[in-house]
Structure 1
């Protein structure tokens, strides 16, 4: 243990500072990587899933009574016995609705060619100024359809619906163009017609943003909110869903039979379209994932959501959900990565780390939800992934550094102590390494010395190479026994062994001190048995047959770093060390067995009910003024030694 504590006062701060710098740079690198990967839409799907949760959790704003949907259901198709409905059926439906003075009527199905009978009747109804039809623009001219020939262009809107890569409708397409002509959506046409009654007309503000009343409708960009790779062609805004059921819906049959209250129609925008699943004019929405069977929303209801959104902007000053400027989002993601890295650097306990990761994710999500309730959509998945990634890198880095340090400690301590003691000391490394040295402290331990009888004579009789092999075999066997009994080898002095029981983790109770004494005696008895085996083996191999002496004393010592800057070791000093050494070396002529074990009264009185001894009385040891009560250990009185923990 000569080098473990050396220079730690310099190494530890450097390592910690290095860890902070490494984790900070890693966090920045992760943020940059996330921003670059965002250009490829790496986390867009996850962001959109979270967005759907935000939509569902924002609360129900209830029906918009300014809009009514006349839905053509499966029952209505059975009623008219035909799909699509003939021009006469549509004309009759329009006549019934016009009786109650609606503000506007929009037909959400194609009427670019006649569906006889009743075409002339339908043309007459379409001529009324509050009736609007649709066309389909598509992605190219080959997909485009013609508008109803009997309707002027300012009463025709497209019904194209924009879907995200996962097929969910989250955006509204207000304007689009085929390169030659500009088109307005059906929902916007209907809303603008309605808003004229309130003297609200659209305009472009100074930022070239389309505005209804006092509310700007900002155009989506490719990286708006949680989006990363969308095509923002045309003029798109986020679709502000009111709810799963945004407006009242009545059946076509009820209207044809005059079963609708006039107040349900008067002054309202009426949308007519299929709601029957068999027509397959249905779309996924943020609400679909929460409904059994992944329920889709009919296209006419999606257009009703859009109409309601435009009316709310113009009349209720309700702006659509906005987003942070892109540079602010970059700072947000970077801050999340730095925070995750800092937590990973400071928290090492696995349970606390797991709890911190969960709490951090919840905090980010809660903050994102709070912003969304304030009509701001910010990236949530990206900062969470960034924070967790930076935290994971910090933890991995810390573990790697700790593994290196622990390997060094185990290599140094593990050769001289049991793995349990080495692990316990490693767990307390922060206190031990705080000052760069092991601070001195006085503890009660049991000190053990052993020596080979007549080693000088034996060494003269053997070649040095053979002596080294033989001595190493002996020391290796004895060291294993000490470690097995949870002692620590403090030093080898030639053939002598100095071991201590009760360090480096201080004992705080009398029971623990007695247990150390018990282990030391048990260790010496195990050495006696092992020496018999070694002697038998050495006799067959031509090595010397030996006897050893052991001295054991229980008492206070001071332990800590000993030495100077050039050399530092784990020192154990005190009179207890001297007494144990003198017990081993005294009365060399009184060797009655192959391992003579002498203990003091301080050790014996802790174990007297467990071991059989021969009392040698109070004796003067070399260099000691006071007499020491000496006992020779014969063996176990009965098998009452405690189990090893």
Structure 2
């Protein structure tokens, strides 16, 4: 039980407990999905910051139908004849594949036969549909392409915040599997490179296109929590950024203003950008810094096609993720590091610097991993780091406050201000698990007591007695503190003081200084007594004499008492000897020398340090009460000056 209490009271144990609690709390909050919006925003920001290759230009050209174009053609939707004319003019420029992002589920005469013949005869023309039955919002493909491989659905996966971050390869209803428009267009382009879509031989559940394997996105991958990942989804990571593709209008096509090099052997995507058609999606764009903006559907299809083609040709895989155990360990690890760092924080500016440094380190590591193709949880790691650091710092500040209060309660009334400050600055040497640490010290103990105090006290009224006694105590306490002593206790008119506490002395020289300071203090107390005697006679108060006993040696020092009343004290044989020297022959006035008002007796252990500084009268070996062995005592005889 004692071992458990000691462990529980240690800062390291508290740090470990805080790490686990904060880490588990952040993991729990993340599991609920409450951090998903922040993590997805961090993902968008990472895409914007990530360095992009400057030498890659996607082989994609956009042909847009604008509001002005619709006004010029004076018809919307475009008739089959108009659409066939635009497609034929583009085919004349030798594109590798054309994808038209325009629904054509119903004939729009005139020119229906012309349109059907064109798309039937040109396998590199790909149309769109909207997945699902018409009754549930689906839009059928052009009838001429219904059973062909020239059709793909245009459906987009929209996250809870309204942004598109995921692409689709397939959707299925349990009976029919449909391919996405972007996948069909990309595969049609890659056919000439001898690249197709195949199962990965090493991971059969994943699909491989060229040099890259696309594992299916799972519901809890990355920042997602129980996401709807039906079909075959992949994460959009735009390895070259959201590209500004070369763009021309349908009017440019009709007017013959498009250079052949803008079309030849490229992917051409035809779509509508007119505001009235409302074919727009929200996404985070990265070509000119990071911002959220509306993007036309044809442009978004272009970004998806570009990612697939880039990955197939250059081997750029989608982002990878740690499993749940790895991400939880990462989060709890940052909580542990935050707790450890909290133990090192020394003030508000130190806290700010450490906190900022941790956030910067997490951001740097996450971005570095992002460049290498890994998406690590940045927001949860920062929350775990900041939370654990803040709590541990608060715990440390509170603990130090309690320790300072304890130091002030134990020491401040009994030591000089500069000694109290030194004690606080070095208090870590004194405390163990929130309590003053017991320690063996070599100190010099001083006891003093007034001779004949009891008869005088009995003859004085209480108010006058306390005034007289307080005047004496004030004077003696000041003398002790001025000489570096630490008041241990008051016993009525008696005082106990220690020289050499609370910190261990490093060498014999320091122990000698304590002994000398104690004797100097005793001599100064005698001078103070002479001054007080004169005042006492003037006030018609009784004049008393002072006995002092001093001994140097080992003691056990530490706090004694309870939580309600605690004091710092010393115990041991050295203390007993000093007390016995003070009270030696107290019933005999002969123990005082002549007219002196103070008698100073020291033990042999103190004499060896002060010999030669004062005149010493050898009292020989003396039997004192409570000790079987005799002690060698000396009286200090200060000079008359």
TM-score norm. by structure 1 comes to 0.72
Give the equivalent residue in structure 2 for 1:157.
152
- The partner residue of 1:167 within 149, 162, 168 is 162
Q: 1:126 to 1:469 in 2, by over 3 A?
A: farther
Q: 1:73 to 1:547 in 2, by over 3 A?
A: farther
8 Å contact from structure 2 (residues 415, 485) kept in 1: yes
1:227 lines up with 2:224 in the alignment: yes
Give the equivalent residue in structure 2 for 1:110.
103
**Structure 1: distance between partners of 2:312 and 2:204:** 18
Give the equivalent residue in structure 1 for 2:272.
274
Once the two structures are TM-superposed, the CA of residue 19 in structure 1 deviates from its matched residue by: 3.4
Show CA shifts across 1:465-494 (max 9, x none).
Answer: 889977886688779978998974343253
Give the equivalent residue in structure 2 for 1:328.
326
**Structure 1: distance between partners of 2:330 and 2:408:** 43
**Which ranges in structure 2 are unaligned for 5 or more consecutive residues?**
562-567, 584-590, 599-613, 620-632
Q: 1:333 to 1:480 in 2, by over 3 A?
A: same
Q: 1:452 to 1:301 in 2, by over 3 A?
A: same
Secondary structure of residue in 2 paired with 1:230: coil
Give the equivalent residue in structure 2 for 1:45.
37
8 Å contact from structure 2 (residues 127, 142) kept in 1: yes
Give the equivalent residue in structure 2 for 1:93.
86
- The partner residue of 1:304 within 302, 305, 316 is 302
**Structure 2: distance between partners of 1:529 and 1:272:** 110
**After the TM superposition, which of the residue ranges 363-372 and 621-630 deviates more from structure 2?**
621-630
8 Å contact from structure 2 (residues 284, 292) kept in 1: no
- The partner residue of 2:125 within 108, 111, 131 is 131
- The partner residue of 2:206 within 206, 209, 216 is 209
**Structure 1: distance between partners of 2:134 and 2:11:** 56
- The partner residue of 2:62 within 54, 62, 69 is 69
**Structure 2: distance between partners of 1:561 and 1:86:** 103
**Structure 2: distance between partners of 1:175 and 1:272:** 22
Aligned ranges 1:233-382 → 2 under 5 Å = 233-246=230-243, 248-252=245-249, 253-276=251-274, 279-287=277-285, 294-344=292-342, 346-350=343-347, 351-382=349-380
TM-score norm. by structure 2 comes to 0.72
**Structure 2: distance between partners of 1:202 and 1:173:** 14
Secondary structure of residue in 2 paired with 1:414: helix
Secondary structure of residue in 1 paired with 2:198: strand
Give the equivalent residue in structure 2 for 1:142.
136
Q: 1:65 to 1:383 in 2, by over 3 A?
A: closer
**Structure 2: distance between partners of 1:139 and 1:28:** 50
Aligned ranges 1:161-560 → 2 under 5 Å = 161-205=156-200, 206-246=203-243, 248-252=245-249, 253-276=251-274, 279-287=277-285, 294-344=292-342, 346-350=343-347, 351-417=349-415, 421-432=419-430, 436-437=437-438, 440=441, 455-461=453-459, 488-497=486-495
Q: 1:163 to 1:527 in 2, by over 3 A?
A: farther
Show CA shifts across 1:102-139 (max 9, x none).
Answer: 12211123233445555554444333322222222379
8 Å contact from structure 2 (residues 453, 544) kept in 1: no
Secondary structure of residue in 2 paired with 1:146: coil
**Structure 2: distance between partners of 1:288 and 1:296:** 13
Once the two structures are TM-superposed, the CA of residue 57 in structure 1 deviates from its matched residue by: 2.4
**Structure 1: distance between partners of 2:535 and 2:180:** 99
Q: 1:493 to 1:229 in 2, by over 3 A?
A: same
8 Å contact from structure 1 (residues 237, 320) kept in 2: yes
Give the equivalent residue in structure 1 for 2:13.
21
Secondary structure of residue in 2 paired with 1:197: helix
Q: 1:122 to 1:493 in 2, by over 3 A?
A: same
**Which ranges in structure 1 are unaligned for 5 or more consecutive residues?**
1-9, 597-617, 633-645
Q: 1:263 to 1:424 in 2, by over 3 A?
A: same
**After the TM superposition, which of the residue ranges 188-197 and 205-214 deviates more from structure 2?**
205-214
Secondary structure of residue in 1 paired with 2:144: coil
Q: 1:503 to 1:442 in 2, by over 3 A?
A: closer
Secondary structure of residue in 2 paired with 1:349: coil
8 Å contact from structure 1 (residues 87, 116) kept in 2: yes
Kindly indicate whether structure 1 or structure 2 has the higher relative contact order, using CA contacts under 8 Å at least 6 residues apart: 1
Q: 1:491 to 1:268 in 2, by over 3 A?
A: same
**Structure 1: distance between partners of 2:529 and 2:146:** 110
**Structure 1: distance between partners of 2:526 and 2:83:** 107
Once the two structures are TM-superposed, the CA of residue 156 in structure 1 deviates from its matched residue by: 2.0
| Paired residue total | 581
Q: 1:359 to 1:588 in 2, by over 3 A?
A: farther
**Structure 2: distance between partners of 1:385 and 1:169:** 26
Show CA shifts across 1:29-67 (max 9, x none).
Answer: 433333332221122222222212221222223554422
Q: 1:468 to 1:530 in 2, by over 3 A?
A: closer
Q: 1:500 to 1:562 in 2, by over 3 A?
A: closer
Task: State the Cα RMSD in Å.
Answer: 5.3
Q: 1:262 to 1:362 in 2, by over 3 A?
A: same
Give the equivalent residue in structure 1 for 2:27.
35
Secondary structure of residue in 1 paired with 2:94: coil
Once the two structures are TM-superposed, the CA of residue 421 in structure 1 deviates from its matched residue by: 3.9
**Structure 1: distance between partners of 2:473 and 2:161:** 69
**Structure 1: distance between partners of 2:184 and 2:289:** 31
Give the equivalent residue in structure 2 for 1:599.
none
8 Å contact from structure 1 (residues 481, 527) kept in 2: no
